[in-house]
Chain A
Amino acid sequence: MEKEINKKTLTQLAKGLRQGQFSSEELTQYYLERIDLFNGKINAFITVTREEAIQQARAADKALAAGKSGPLTGVPIAHKDIFCTRGIKTSCGSKMLDNFISPYDATVVKRLKDAGAIMVGKTNMDEFAMGSSNETSFYGPVHNPWDHDRVPGGSSGGSAAAVASKLVSAATGTDTGGSIRQPAAFSGVTGVKPTYGRVSRYGMVAFASSLDQAGTLTQTAEDAALLLESMAGFDRRDSTSLNEPVPAYYDAIHEPWQNLTIGVPDNFFDEGLDPDNAQAVKDALKIFEKLGAKIKDVHLDHLDLSVPVYYVVAPAEASSNLSRFDGVRFGHRSKNVKNLNEFYMQTRGEGFGAEVKRRILTGTYVLSAGYYDAYYLQAQKVRKLISNEFMRIFSEVDLLAGPTTPTPAFKIGQKTDNPVEMYLNDIYTIGAPLAGLPALSVPCGLVQGLPVGLQLIATHLDETRLLKAAHYFQKETDWHLHIPPGYDERER
């Protein structure tokens, strides 16, 4: 087994396997060993599927030897624990589903399995994906590999930390208000949230169904293209999945550079943005200018309202979606209850954590008879205004660019006492899902030793342009190649 496998990208690993540089079993064993060595420090995994992974790897080696390989045959990846995995615990970071063994595979899981990927485990996450710091998980917080006292971001924090620390070369995630892009920025990896409906939500535990979208956490945009190509596409089991052909993303991003106009919202750079973080993003924009892109100032009139809109719409949908967790058919059930009322109250009282309860209460409040028009309906109207504004801007520019987050990763515990402060941290990432737009975050610098991200947003179904811009950016920069201190060399 050659050295420094941990420096190889998903794309390089897939190629190495096809060329016989190493076997899938060797590779899988390598990553399982790294998980054994490092997961205790960062808590990125809820479940490690050792035996299944080795079995799958052996089958992959046979397929490779027989020349029957798919694009991802033999490459170890991890799934966020929000995706149902047949015969394997799917907890969604909650006590409510701590005992839930999924009877089926999510479409994302099935498609990646069909493409040949090996699942080494399920990653930690904020409970029911509700959080921006991975501190709401029933299984304890994930620690940022760049600084163990800091959060990795959330809710796909386990996936981001696992990829950043090279415990796996790629992982799936989900994004409702920034849950792929924000942890990608905080952990120094590439995070892609596709267009709403691009990837099937079947088997993905529902949080806010009009916003939820599955995506990728990888080292490079090239890796994301490779992974997304296998994940995306119509699924008859998800009535909101888009019946549109999936472009050959991987080939498309390697085509020659075409000039584009990049819009930069001036109010992304207001006083809430850390000055060093701002500088890193401005330096990134200069790279695009060097490539020949035209930078154009734009303004998002409704930026400040995107957080309030999100914190009406998302909790409203969550309060409805989470009503299924009642302890009757699956999941946690309270013991020693006298009647049915007590049964529901205690089951849900014991099974959900504080943040989930807050969102259910907020959701039921904004949907209640007297407040529905003032909150929920008004939020959906303002959401339309936000969406119209994006559409107007995309008639003038090809991409939007800005910071992914206002600051680098904050300390564990720093914002847990103030939910609103935590929510406001999502300001730059919330707009894209409200309008159903694809967006990504790529590493664009280090601020006091911590990674920060550049966010790119495209119009509906324009993932190719988004990934291609990120790929060309990564050809000019090396921020995506940095490895957190202590995770660089394999400790034997």
Chain B
Amino acid sequence: MADVLAKLSDIVGLVSQLEAEDTTDVVPMAHPLDQTQKLRSDQITETDEHQLYQKNAPLVEKDLYLVPKVIE
């Protein structure tokens, strides 16, 4: 645990170098090429393939993914 903390502290130390830079009036980067999010037409392009996708699921019952009981 001490080793984990030491390594994380080193990383925080590295990224803390950023504090010294004056960024007054700098607009944070939103996209490397200044592109905005594209909108696409509201049309169905994908079909339901849940049975294919659920082949990778560890535990499925009646097409539902199972997890340990949440409410006792």
Contacts and interface: CB of A to CB of B under 8 A. Distances in A.
Partners in one complex: yes
Interface of A: 99-101, 103, 195-197, 210, 236, 239-240, 242-243, 302, 304-305, 307-309, 311-312, 327-331, 333, 337-340, 342-343, 358, 361-362, 365-366, 374-375, 377-385, 387, 418-420, 423, 433-437, 460
The 9 closest A-B pairs by CB, nearest first: A436-B32, A380-B28, A330-B56, A381-B23, A333-B58, A381-B26, A384-B29, A383-B29, A308-B15
A437 B31 CA distance: 12
A405 B31 CA distance: 26
Contacts of B35: 197, 240, 242
Contacts, number: 134
11 contacts: A100-B56, A103-B56, A195-B33, A210-B32, A242-B33, A308-B14, A339-B69, A358-B7, A380-B30, A420-B10, A434-B32
Centre residue among A100, A343, A434, A436 by max chain B CB count within 10 A: A436
B67 A328 contact: yes
B62 interface: no
Interface of B: 4, 7-8, 10-19, 21, 23, 26-33, 35, 37-38, 40, 45, 49, 52-59, 65, 67-70
Contacts of B56: 99-101, 103, 329-331
Given A333-B58, A385-B21, A460-B33, A312 B15 contact: yes
Contacts of A385: 21, 23, 26
B55 A103 contact: yes
A424 B67 CA distance: 41
Contact of A382 (B21, B37, B57): B21
Given A100-B56, A361-B8, A385-B23, A312 B18 contact: yes
Contacts of B54: 329
A419 B15 CA distance: 13
Given A333-B58, A420-B11, A378 B33 contact: no
B55 A101 contact: yes
A384 B54 CA distance: 42
A436 B67 contact: no
A377 B10 CA distance: 20
A387 B28 CA distance: 11
A210 B67 CA distance: 32
Nearest to B51: A103
A238 to B, nearest CB: 10
A337 B69 CA distance: 10
Given A362-B11, A366-B15, A328 B65 contact: yes
Contacts of A380: 28-30
Given A308-B16, A338-B68, A380-B29, 7 more contacts: A239-B37, A330-B58, A375-B15, A378-B19, A379-B15, A384-B26, A419-B7
A450 B18 CA distance: 35
A382 B23 contact: yes
Nearest to B21: A382
Nearest to B39: A239
B53 A362 contact: no
A382 B67 CA distance: 42
A384 B28 contact: yes
A419 B10 CA distance: 8
A103 B14 contact: no
B5 to A, nearest CB: 10
A329 B65 contact: yes
A340 B32 contact: no
A311 B14 contact: yes
A435 B14 contact: no
B27 A384 contact: yes
Contacts of B15: 308, 311-312, 362, 366, 375, 379
A362 B10 CA distance: 11
B53 A329 contact: yes
A240 B33 CA distance: 10
B64 to A, nearest CB: 11
Nearest to B10: A420
A384 B21 CA distance: 12
A305 B18 contact: yes
